[in-house]
Structure 1
Amino acid sequence: DDMLIASRQKAVIASVKAGIAEKFRIKDLGRARFILGIEIDYDMERITLGISQKAYTESIIKRFGQENAKPCLTPLEPGVQLTKADEPQTEEDKAKMKSKPCRSLVGSLMYLACGTRPDISVAVAKLSRVLENPGEEHWDAGIKVVRYLLKTKDVGIVYDGLLGTQLEAYSDADWAGNR
C-alpha cells in the first residue's frame, strides 16, 4: 500500500518512517507529486502545499464532450431546484435518458468534489438526489457543472504552512439557496 507522511518538521517524518520500518519493509519514493489522481505542488519559498486534480478534471471535460463548450461562471444557477417533477414521464423520454451516462457523470463529479473541489459539492449533492430516474433537466444541470469545471480547471486547495493548522473556510456553496 501507499502512504504519505507530512509534517513541517523533518525529524517527525523520520521518526514515523523509522517506526513503520521496524514492523514492515518500506521503500521511500521521495517527495510525492501525484497520488490517487491528486496532483501535489510544493512551494518551499512560500511554504505552501497545493493539491489539485487538473488532469482528472480535463478527463471529465473530454469524456462528456465539453472541450469546446462555453464555460460557466457557477456550477448551478442560483436557486435551482432539481426535483422529481423533472423526471421523464413517458416511456420514450425514459428510453432517451437511459442512453445518457448520468451515474457516471455524477460519480466523476463526486470524486472531484471529495478530493479537491468542494466548490461543486452542493451541485453534486443535488444531482445525486435525482439519480434514480434522472430527466433531461437533471442531465443539463450536470453538464453545466462540467462547463463550470472548464472555466475553473486550474482551481485546487492550497495549504499555507505559515498559518498553522487552523482551518478557515468561507463559503456560500449553494449560492444563497437557503430561503
Structure 2
Amino acid sequence: MGRARFILGIEIDYDMERKTLGISRKAYTESIIKKFGQENAKPCLTPLEPGVQLTKADEPQTEEVKAKMKSKPYRSLVGSLMYLACGTRPDISVAVAKLSRFLENPGEKPWDAGIKVVRYLLKTKDVGIVYDGLLGTQLEAYSVGRQSWRPTLGERDATDAMRCSCGVALDVPENCRSEFNRSRIHGAE
C-alpha cells in the first residue's frame, strides 16, 4: 500500500532524505478562497492588520446594517477558517479567535477582517507544518498572557500568545524570552 499521502483532507509530504514530514491543506485552502470569491483579490501579507481592534462597537448598530449582514455567510467563513487553523494553519488562530467573538451579531468590520484572512490565505496557500525528525521528540512551549480592563470600550481585553513545538523548529527572539513562561517536557511523543 505504501505511505499515506492524503488523510481526511490533509496532504502529507515525506522527505526521508531530510527526515521531515509536512502536513498541509492546500486543496481545502483553495476551496475557501473560491467559496468566498477571493481568487482574483489582492493577496495580504498578514491575517489581520497590526493593532486591529474588533469590539462590541463593531456589531451592527442599525436595522439596515443588520439586514445586510444577514445575507453574508459569516458563520461559514469563521467555521471554515477555524477548521483550517485547528489542523494545519496555526498562523491564523489569533485572527479566527477574534472573528469568533461576532458569530451571533457580525458587523461589516468583522466581515471585512475575515475576508482579509482569506486574502492572506491566497498569498500563503502552500504553507503548512513541517516536523523535523532531526530535532527529536522534545516538546517546548512558550506562552505570554495579559489581561486588562478597557473602560473606554466597556469590555475586558485578554491577549494571549502561545507557541508549541514538537520536532518543529521554534524560534523565539532573544529579546522576547524574558516575557515568555517557558516549559519543557523531554521525551514527549
Same fold at TM > 0.5: yes
Structure with larger Rg: 1
Detail structure 1 runs of 4+ shifted over 3 Å in the superposition.
167-172
Identity %: 90
Identify which of 136, 139, 157 aligns with 1:164. 136
Distance 1:170 1:132 in 2: 37
Q: Which amino acid aligns with 1:88?
A: P
CA offsets 1:37-78 (integer angstroms, 9 cap, x no match) = 110000111111000000000000000000000000000011
Which residue among 106, 109, 116 is the counterpart of 1:134?
A: 106
Q: How far apart, CA to CA, are the structure 1 residues paired with 2:55 and 2:120?
A: 21
TM-score, structure 2 length as denominator? 0.73
Q: Which runs of 5+ in 2 are unaligned?
A: 140-164, 174-189
1:81-102: CA deviations, max 9, x gaps?
1111011111111110000000
Partner residue, 1:58: 30
What residue number does 1:39 align with?
11
Q: CA RMSD in A?
A: 1.4
Q: Quote the residue 2:44 is aligned against.
A: 72
Q: CA deviation at 1:170?
A: 4.1
> 1:111 is aligned with what amino acid?
Y
Q: 2:71 matched to 1:104?
A: no
Name the CA shift for 1:170/1:111 in 2 (closer, same or farther; >3 Å).
Answer: farther
**1:148 correspondence with 2:87:** no
Structure number having the greater helix percentage: 1
How far, CA to CA, are the matches of 1:37 and 1:114 in structure 2?
Answer: 13
CA shift for structure 1 position 122: 0.2
Unpaired stretches in structure 1, ≥5 consecutive residues: 1-28, 173-179
* Letter of the 1:163 counterpart: L
What do the CA deviations read for 1:90-130 (whole angstroms, capped 9, x no partner)? 11111100000000000000000001000000000000011
